[in-house]
Each structure stands twice: as structure tokens, then as C-alpha cells.
Amino acid sequence: MTMDWDRRHCARKGHITYAPDENHLRRNLHASTAVGTVWRCLRCGDFVLGEPHGSGPADRAPLVPRGRALRDLFILRFLAVERVLRGLLVILAAWAVWKFSNSQDSVRRLFDDDLTVFRPVARHFGYDLDHSPVVDTIQKTFDYKRSTLRIAAGGLGLYALIEVVEGVGLWFGKRWAEYLAVVATAAFLPIEIYELTEKVSYFKIGTLALNILAVLYILIGKRLFGIRGGHAAFEAERRGESLLEVEVAAGETVPPLPVRPRSAADSV
């Protein structure tokens, strides 16, 4: 069962109607009923009671995303939410690193005190805290220079800003955000692949697969960097779909009538 993206979107956001200036189009886009005038929705094709949302020449009809365009918008917004959430998490990490750089010595003393308290308990259960990889990693961070930690916090903050800006742009379907998403995501793919060579996990595999699919989908589907005709072909496709909808809704594009085989009576 295929999803009707047009009616689904209209049910959530409402219909969009348009009254073209051309009389022959206008006559076919609206009708009079016992309860009032109805206009045909440019997205789902249903007739809607009330005045049209806009009017003007047919070639100025609004670019109403429908069908595949709506599906693409849904996928882009899913990626947008993922980017924004990731950006917020990275912001928290940057803030934590910055706070740690300002109170590195006090955190070290607090950690050493807690470690002293828990060392007998851990030894009772057969766990050697002094040779724990986790504890060793934490203790190494205390030896980092404050300037190094602040640079790391700044880098994390910049990365978070890119993710949030990218997510907001994708949510609103901005083309510059699609370029940013492809470039930024592709730039981090080698790092994700390297991390898999160090330690394999289902989360890392899923993240890598999602990012690769996102890059290919946006790159090819949105015709970036001149692929499949580039920006001109993409805009022509959008405009063509909108005008085609106006023409179809107005009855301008009519399928040819089927040819009936001639019988002997027709030739008489």
C-alpha cells in the first residue's frame, strides 16, 4: 500500500488553492455548489470550499511540493532533526570540556578522592582500578594543557554550530543547506571509517550507513554539483511540475480518446 503524500500533507497543513487570471483555466479550477464556490487544491486535487489563497497568472502559481517532492521534504526534515540533535549534544560536550579546562585541578583532586574511596570496594570484587583502561584514559586527560582543552572546546563548538545551521536549512528545504550537508557529512566519513577499524559496533555501522545514504540521496536526488543537469534542471523540474499541476487541474492536459475499431455499420 503506497502512501498518498499529497492528501497526508493537506490533512496536516491544509489545502492550497489558486485562481489564475486566464479565464479558460479559471473556469476549470473552480465550481459553484449549493453551499458556495469551491476551488481545486494544487497539491491533492480535491475541491475546497471558500475563496482561493492566491490569484494571478498561471506561470506565477505557487510552487506546491507534491508527490515525490513531499517525500523528499520528509526525508530532509528527518535528517534535519538528526543534525540538530547531534549539534545540541556536541554543544553540551563543548561546554563540559570548557568547564573542565577552567577547573582541571579541582576535578583532578575530586576524582582522586573518589578513586581512593572506591579502590577497596573494587579490589573486593576483583577489579583493579589502578590498571583500568577507563580510569587510565580519564587520568590522562588531567595532563592535557588548558590551552589544548580550550581549542578542543572551540572545535566542538564550531562543529555543533555547523550541525545546527545545517539542520535548520534542511528543515526549510534550502539548497545551500543541501550543499553544506553533503560537504560536511562527506568530510567526516573517513574519520567514521577509521573508527570502525579501531572498534566495530552496530551504532557506528548504522551511523556510517545513514551518512553515506544521506550523501548519495541529496547529491543525486537534488542534482548538486552539476549532476543530472544541475541547478537549472532542478528548478525547471520544480517549475514544470507546478505548471503541469495547474494545467492538469484545469483540464488542459487531456488524454487522447481510445480509438474504437470501425465496424461494417460505420462504413455504411
Q: Write the pLDDT tens digit of every residue in 109-159.
A: 655 665 565 667 666 666 665 555 655 665 566 666 777 778 888 888 898
Q: Residue 54: which region, alpha, beta or left (left: phi > 0; alpha: psi -120 to 50)?
A: beta
Which grid coordinates belong to 142?
Answer: 588531567
- Could you tell me which residue, 236 or 251, shows the higher pLDDT? 236
- Please state the pTM of the whole predicted model: 0.65
Q: Write the pLDDT tens digit of every residue in 6-36.
A: 888 888 888 888 888 888 778 878 888 888 8
pLDDT of residue 80: 92
Euclidean distance between CA atoms 35 and 25, whole angstroms: 22
Contacts of residue 37, Cβ cutoff 8 Å, sequence gap at least 6: 30, 31, 49, 50, 51
- 10 Å Cβ neighbour count for 103? 10
DSSP secondary structure of 174-242: -HHHHHHHHHHHHHHHHHHHHHHHH---HHHHHHHHHHHHHHHHHHHHTTGGGGGGHHHHHHHHHHHHH
Q: Write the pLDDT tens digit of every residue in 187-235.
A: 888 888 888 887 788 888 888 898 898 889 888 888 888 887 777 777 7
Euclidean distance between CA atoms 222 and 230, whole angstroms: 8
- With beta carbons less than 8 A apart as the criterion, state whether 224 and 48 touch: no
pLDDT higher than 70, residue 254 = no
Map residue 145 onto helix, strand or coil: coil
If you average pLDDT over every residue of the chain, what do you get? 76
Strand partners, 32: 37
Q: Write the pLDDT tens digit of every residue in 59-88.
A: 788 778 777 777 788 888 888 998 999 899
pLDDT of residue 101: 73
pLDDT of residue 210: 85
Euclidean distance between CA atoms 159 and 94, whole angstroms: 10
The dihedral formed by the CA atoms of 139, 143, 147 and 149, expressed in degrees to the nearest 10 = -10
pLDDT of residue 250: 57
* 257: confidence class by pLDDT, cuts 50, 70, 90: very low
Estimate to the nearest angstrom the gap between the alpha carbon of 145 and the chain centroid: 38
